[in-house]
């Protein structure tokens, strides 16, 4: 019933975003021109996540960010957002059936805040978001902020922020979609409708991803299929010249197969992933947001109030029925007051934000071996932010105080400065701190006798700094960005196996985890329709001198694109390299993990597109062109070569 009510509320919220009737024609023309200018500017100019004021110019940000544009997602024919995140410096991706994780600058997977159209989408029970369930919609883009952002967003942004933004109705007016089919009985489709002007805006998306998959066990024969369905919508309506309402909602359902590890220590495959018939999972998530924004003093002082929810259910099944499940729910309300003060050639931005958040969790154990009641955590966050923009110099500072009902109160900070030392050359430096509260299963465990919780866990804490240089070359036809970062994580939560039972339980480390590295990104327009984007990361992540797992020392990517002068055809070659990395394997009968080294791998993808007629294009792609066998997680074999072809249209 609660799910039905949530869907009804989300639908009602979207209903308020329907276009309103036209007003005076002359006023409409001016408003439409203003609105179109705002639409044109926002994707390439403004950041909506690097400041709580949501009016920060991309060129004036004092930290590290990379924007994956709508054009880049389309050229690389991105379907899973996790795939294109491999092209971001500092990002490590590891994917298995039922869980895709990312790590920023050596952080843990649950240290990255994922925002989808402004909604926090992590599962309160698991403490992180399965990026494998986020499918690329027509016209979407992604911003990735690297480094601690807890001063703005609290405990879930200790490592950084990934912000996925679907296109508004005004950005892509009309009806569009794509359908494609390929190897492994893959059938994908996406359809989008958008309409909008200065007064109102509405966009609706529906996306389906379906495949029979491939075996993921070494020498396995069981194909692991997956079906994912996404229905989303967002919109806004201008109630008056100074008051605007907005809403967004998203429903995601994912069904898939997975395999278990072999726990029979008499078998040669003990500790490895093996074919496990009839094991599967079902995940269902509902997200919704509604907000209003009031402009006062001709827009110089704005007030924004929003409320959002996330409701996530996960179930696993075996040969004898449901084998496990969890439920997580988040309610969140935010108020942001932002003032802009112009003084000569300088502008001051002063922002205050207040967040209230309540998370609930329930271990929906079908066997009654674990506590199945609902537990709750509540948090209040108070944020103060100041930004200065003056000529060639930029300054930013933020301070947040979190009031927690389960843990000690915490205060985090972020400061940064940027300076244009010459035409096309910008230096920047920033420092900040972050926190991450223990998750539900870390505090309370899974099933009794298999994973014991630790209610005495303390939050993880991180402090770090970075320095970078951004260089524009050849009148903006090329650019390169170089960043060095250094951070320290305290109280890292890890899994231990204490004697005499050796049952897994989490604990806080007494030693520090050190993360430092270098990130490089570059892009260039080469002429004759060619352009290139490239990224490289070096990471040194060690805890007490021991290399951290699933964090490659070297990650690199390059995407070469060619587009015909009349935009009638295009082709893109993407090369992604993942260096060798350490992982943990449970191949010892004591179940105490041993370390294994995963080989490096290089993936090559080739895609192309040709215009058949106005608004209709034929496309195709080959992924893992060299059919490389590789593992992102110990003993989980990743997919081999696949080919897909399809058609897309826009009306």
Task: Give 368's pLDDT tier (boundaries 50, 70, 90).
Answer: confident
Q: Return the pLDDT at 45.
A: 58
Residue 299 burial by Cβ neighbours in a 10 Å radius (0-12, 13-18, 19+): exposed
- Encode pLDDT of 7-21 as tens digits: 333 333 333 333 333
For Cα atoms 601, 602, 604, give the angle at the middle one, nearest 5 degrees: 150
Task: Give 127's pLDDT tier (boundaries 50, 70, 90).
Answer: confident
pLDDT(156) > 50? yes
Task: Give 503's pLDDT tier (boundaries 50, 70, 90).
Answer: confident
Cis peptide upstream of residue 500 (ω within 30 degrees of 0):
yes
pTM of the model: 0.91
Q: In sequence order, what are the residues at sequence separation of 6 or more whose Cβ sits closer than 8 angstroms to the Cβ of residue 638? A: 95, 216, 629, 630, 631, 632
pLDDT(418) > 60? yes
CA pair distance 213, 642, nearest whole angstrom: 10
Half-sphere exposure of residue 353: CA atoms within 13 angstroms, side-chain side? 25
pLDDT(354) > 80? yes
- Encode pLDDT of 290-323 as tens digits: 999 999 999 999 999 999 999 999 999 999 999 9
Share of the chain above pLDDT 70, in %: 93
Q: In sequence order, what are the residues at sequence separation of 6 or more whose Cβ sits closer than 8 angstroms to the Cβ of residue 474? A: 524
CA pair distance 216, 634, nearest whole angstrom: 11
Burial 123-137 (b: 16+ CB within 10 A, else e): bbbbbbbbbbbbbbb
Mean of pLDDT values over 529-558: 96
Domains annotated on the chain, with CATH: 2-415+434-462+494-521 (2.40.170)
Q: Which helix (H) or strand (E) holds 44?
A: helix 25-45
Mean of pLDDT values over 162-178: 94
Helices (H) and strands (E) in the chain, counts: 6, 40
DSSP collapsed to 3 states, 57-77: EHHHCCCEEEEECHHHHHHCC
CA pair distance 111, 434, nearest whole angstrom: 9
Task: Tell me how crowded residue 265 is: count the other CB atoms within 10 A of its CB.
Answer: 12
- Encode pLDDT of 462-480 as tens digits: 999 999 999 999 999 999 9
Q: Return the pLDDT at 447.
A: 62
Lowest-pLDDT range of 99-108, 134-143, 325-334, 369-378: 369-378
How far, rounded to the nearest angstrom, does the alpha carbon of residue 84 sit from its chain's CA centroid? 11
Q: Return the pLDDT at 18.
A: 33
Q: How far is CA 479 from CA 50, 229, 251, 260, 482, in A?
A: 21, 38, 39, 46, 10
- Encode pLDDT of 596-616 as tens digits: 999 999 999 999 999 999 999
Nearest to 61 by CA among 553, 389, 280, 407: 389
CA pair distance 162, 141, nearest whole angstrom: 11
CA pair distance 418, 468, nearest whole angstrom: 9
Q: Return the pLDDT at 43.
A: 38
pLDDT(233) > 80? yes
Q: Return the pLDDT at 500.
A: 78
Mean of pLDDT values over 320-331: 93
CB pairs under 8 A, 24+ apart, for 557-560?
A: 557/86, 557/87, 558/532, 558/533, 558/534, 559/72, 559/75, 559/76, 559/87, 559/532, 559/533, 559/534, 560/530, 560/531, 560/532
- 162, 68 contact by CB (below 8 A): no
Provide the strand spans (E) within 59-140: 64-68, 91-96, 99-104, 112-116, 119-120
- Encode pLDDT of 107-125 as tens digits: 999 999 999 999 999 999 8
pLDDT(534) > 90? yes
Share of the chain above pLDDT 90, in %: 80
Task: Give 3's pLDDT tier (boundaries 50, 70, 90).
Answer: very low
Q: Return the pLDDT at 441.
A: 81
CA pair distance 389, 586, nearest whole angstrom: 53
CB pairs under 8 A, 24+ apart, for 153-156?
A: 153/113, 154/355, 154/357, 154/379, 154/381, 154/400, 154/402, 154/435, 155/379, 155/402, 155/410, 155/434, 155/435, 155/436, 155/437, 155/459, 156/110, 156/111, 156/112, 156/113, 156/120, 156/122, 156/436
CA pair distance 213, 69, nearest whole angstrom: 29
Q: Return the pLDDT at 437.
A: 92
Q: Return the pLDDT at 73.
A: 97
């Amino acid at each position: 019933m609660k799910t039905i009510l949530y869907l009804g509320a989300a639908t009602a919220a979207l209903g308020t975003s329907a276009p309103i009737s036209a007003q005076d024609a002359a006023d409409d023309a001016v408003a439409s021109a203003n609105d179109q200018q705002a639409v044109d500017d926002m994707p390439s100019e403004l950041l909506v996540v690097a400041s709580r004021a949501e009016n920060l110019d991309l060129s004036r940000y004092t930290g590290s960010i990379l924007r994956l544009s709508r054009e880049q997602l389309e050229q690389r024919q991105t379907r899973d957002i996790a795939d294109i995140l491999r092209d971001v410096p500092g990002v490590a991706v590891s994917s298995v059936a039922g869980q895709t994780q990312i790590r920023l600058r050596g952080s843990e997977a649950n240290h990255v805040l994922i925002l989808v159209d402004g909604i926090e989408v992590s599962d309160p029970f698991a403490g992180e978001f399965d990026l494998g369930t986020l499918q690329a919609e027509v016209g979407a883009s992604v911003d990735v902020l690297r480094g601690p952002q807890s001063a703005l967003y609290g405990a879930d942004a200790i490592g950084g922020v990934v912000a996925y933004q679907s296109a508004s109705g005004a950005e892509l007016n009309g009806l569009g979609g794509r359908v494609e089919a390929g190897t492994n009985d893959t059938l994908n489709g996406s359809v989008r409708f958008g309409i909008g002007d200065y007064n109102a805006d509405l966009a609706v998306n529906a996306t389906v991803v379906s495949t029979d998959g491939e075996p993921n066990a070494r020498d396995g024969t069981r194909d692991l299929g997956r079906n994912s369905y996404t229905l989303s919508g967002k919109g806004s309506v201008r109630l008056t010249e100074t008051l605007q309402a907005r809403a967004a909602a998203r429903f995601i359902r994912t069904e898939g197969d997975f395999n278990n590890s072999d726990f029979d220590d008499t078998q040669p495959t003990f500790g490895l992933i093996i074919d496990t018939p009839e094991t599967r999972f079902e995940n269902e998530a509902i997200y919704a947001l509604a907000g209003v924004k009031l402009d006062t003093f001709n827009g110089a002082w704005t007030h924004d109030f929003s409320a959002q929810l996330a409701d996530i259910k996960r179930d696993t099944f075996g040969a004898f029925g449901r084998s496990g499940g969890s439920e997580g729910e988040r309610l969140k309300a935010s108020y942001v007051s932002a003032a802009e003060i112009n003084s000569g050639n300088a502008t001051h931005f002063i922002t205050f934000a207040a967040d209230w958040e309540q998370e609930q969790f329930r271990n929906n154990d079908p066997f009654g071996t674990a506590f199945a009641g609902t537990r709750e955590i509540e948090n209040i966050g108070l944020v103060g932010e100041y930004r200065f923009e003056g000529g060639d110099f930029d300054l930013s500072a933020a301070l947040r105080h979190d009031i927690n009902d389960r843990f000690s109160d915490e205060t985090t900070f972020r400061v940064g400065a940027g300076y244009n030392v010459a035409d096309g050359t910008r230096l920047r430096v920033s420092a900040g701190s972050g926190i991450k509260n223990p998750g539900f299963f870390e505090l309370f465990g899974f099933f009794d006798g298999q994973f014991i919780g630790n209610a005495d866990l303390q939050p993880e804490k991180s402090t770090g700094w970075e320095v970078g240089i951004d260089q524009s070359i050849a009148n903006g036809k090329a650019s390169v960005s170089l960043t060095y970062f250094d951070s320290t994580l305290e109280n890292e939560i890890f899994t231990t196996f204490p004697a005499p039972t050796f049952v897994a339980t989490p604990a806080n480390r007494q030693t520090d985890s050190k993360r430092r590295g270098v990130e490089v990104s570059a892009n260039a327009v080469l002429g004759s329709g060619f352009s290139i984007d490239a990224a490289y990361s070096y990471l040194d992540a060690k805890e007490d001198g021991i290399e951290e797992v699933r964090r490659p020392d070297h990650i690199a990517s390059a995407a070469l694109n060619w587009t015909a002068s009349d935009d009638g055809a295009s082709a893109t070659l993407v090369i992604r390299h993942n260096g060798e990395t350490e992982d943990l394997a449970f191949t010892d009968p004591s179940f105490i993990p041993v370390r294994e080294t995963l080989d490096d791998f290089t993936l090559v993808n080739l895609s192309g597109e040709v215009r058949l007629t106005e608004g209709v294009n034929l496309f195709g792609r080959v992924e893992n062109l060299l059919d490389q066998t590789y593992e992102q997680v110990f003993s989980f074999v990743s997919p081999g070569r696949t080919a897909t072809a399809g058609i897309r249209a826009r009306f």
